[in-house]
Structure 1
């Protein structure tokens, strides 16, 4: 007679606890990654605000009204950068969702503009690297007259 009880574990592992532990670990890692992305996004937005302030300073003499508009836009951009730094990724997602519910057309228009801009950037990057050199690219410009 063989005893099979020696091959069975004495206690059953708690599957629910294991799943809960894995979920907690993954949630923590996802929040950490989202916070890093948020911080780098805030830095990029802040740089854009500084660029707007510089542009406003250079436009001050030529067109004070345009300079004021650019300056106020730069200040709004700075506030956005501060919000990105101060809020968690979950809070930002909630804010974006709430804005989308209140202003669906504005969200749709903004998404279309961002998508268009990204597609132009990607297309310009691909076009520059895939553009073949002309048949005479290696020849020197000696004796040629460009008209």
Structure 2
């Protein structure tokens, strides 16, 4: 397998993992809804941002990947931060 093929596989695997984090985030938001609707809303926003980022990553070449993440972090810092917190939470529970 060539390096570009490996890079593309890694890109798709990363996008799939981001989408999985988004699904887990939505589940966590549902669980939080009764106790803390405001926090649940933030978690949903982060999950939505992760889903959009995953979709965007799937359709781009590797060189654009870094630009997409950088742009997302600048445009939606709260969603980016929430996504990283969510990812850490999901990974710690695995």
* Normalised TM-score (structure 1): 0.45
Specify which of 46, 54, 65 is matched with residue 27 of structure 2.
Answer: 54
d(CA) in 1 for partners of 2:22 and 2:4?
26
Q: Which has the higher contact order (CA 8 A, sep 6+)?
A: 2
Deviation of residue 88 (structure 1)? 1.2
Distance, in Å, in 2 between the alignment partners of 1:41 and 1:64 is 29
C-alpha distance in 2 between matches for 1:29 and 1:51: 33
Larger Cα-atom Rg = 1
Q: Which structure is higher in helix share?
A: 2
Alignment root-mean-square deviation, CA = 3.0
Shift of 1:29: 2.1
Structure 2 gaps of 5+ residues are none
Provide the C-alpha distance between the structure 1 equivalents of 2:29 and 2:51, rounded to a whole number of angstroms.
14
- Distance in structure 2 (CA, Å) of the matches to 1:90 and 1:29: 16
Distance 2:11 2:42 in 1: 27
Runs (4+) of structure 1 moved beyond 6 Å? none
- Return the match for 1:79 from 27, 42, 52: 52
- Normalising by the residue count of structure 2, what TM-score does the alignment of the two structures yield? 0.68
